Chain A
Amino acid sequence: MVLGQIFAAQGKDLKDRYILRVIPNGYQYFVVPFILENPSNKSQSGQADITYLSYEEDLTMNVSAYSPTPLDIDSVVILSAPSKRIVLYPREDKHLGNVVQTEPTNSFTIFFVEKEKKHWHHRISCRFAIDDLRTIYRAKQPYQIQIFSEQGKLCLQVPPKKWAQEQKDFTDILFIFNKNK
């Protein structure tokens, strides 16, 4: 019980949820990893963190997805009730001579897939607009990160019991992002 309270104390303050760094063109915000789960399939779990640079309109959400079997991931969708759907495309840097083609805003990259002790660890980097993050954190229900593969769909979301607190924290964090550009 005491240990439970100690764990709960960690990250309770909003300032413990993110780290701010001054960088040459503005600020870099890093929202520390938060837990994701699949309420209907306990064998699937994950965590995510967010990096936002104050001079950009997009952000990076890095997601760790754990599953009992390896997945050959082909697409990622972030779904928020009732109607918001962010489709992320595979990101490939295309070099055309000296020109590097601009990456699509809604995109994802697979950093690595590894076998760990109890599960397979898939590390995915998702990039999308900060306005989309605002929209999905306004919804009454937690958004779902749906990872599609040949082996099936892996769904992750903020635990429903924690959604209210998560929503409150992110509303404040996004306000801070917006006001400190």
Chain B
Amino acid sequence: MAVAASALLFSSCGSLGTVGSVFTNTVEPVAATSNTFGTKVGTAEVKSFVGVVAIGDGGIHEAAKNGGIKKISHIDVKTFSVMGVYTCKTYFVYGE
């Protein structure tokens, strides 16, 4: 049980991405398309507080719109989190 608890505390990965239970500051890929590598970038973010309140328009469509992107080549997400109290996810959409 202690091993399971420490595994949960110190590392986590898989479909949720790399998440630290105390502090997270990562940039990871979300998706890629067959479109050629884009030179434009757009972002959108969503923030949550204590897992109760979540604000922001963090959609991929919003990020693409902000970057003037019509053809998406790939998408990354940056996660900044402190003990789950405050979490900010920023989606980076690349394309043309």
Contact = CB atoms under 8 A, between A and B. Distances in A.
B25 interface: yes
A18 B49 CA distance: 25
A96 interface: no
B41 A125 contact: no
Given A16-B25, A32-B90, A111 B68 contact: yes
Given A64-B66, A112-B65, A51 B39 contact: yes
B37 A19 contact: no
A109 to B, nearest CB: 7
B88 A10 contact: yes
Contacts of A125: 68
Interface in A1-43: 3, 6-7, 9-10, 16, 19, 21, 23-24, 28, 30, 32-33
Interface string B69-90: 0000000101010100110101
Nearest to B39: A53
A62 B90 contact: no
B74 to A, nearest CB: 9
Most buried by A among B25, B68, B76, B85: B68
B61 to A, nearest CB: 12
Contacts of B66: 62, 64, 111, 123
Contacts of A123: 65-66, 68
A169 interface: no
A109 B68 contact: yes
A64 to B, nearest CB: 7
Interface of B: 25, 27, 37, 39-43, 49, 65-68, 76, 78, 80, 82, 85-86, 88, 90, 92, 94
Interface of A: 3, 6-7, 9-10, 16, 19, 21, 23-24, 28, 30, 32-33, 49, 51, 53, 60, 62, 64, 109, 111-112, 123, 125
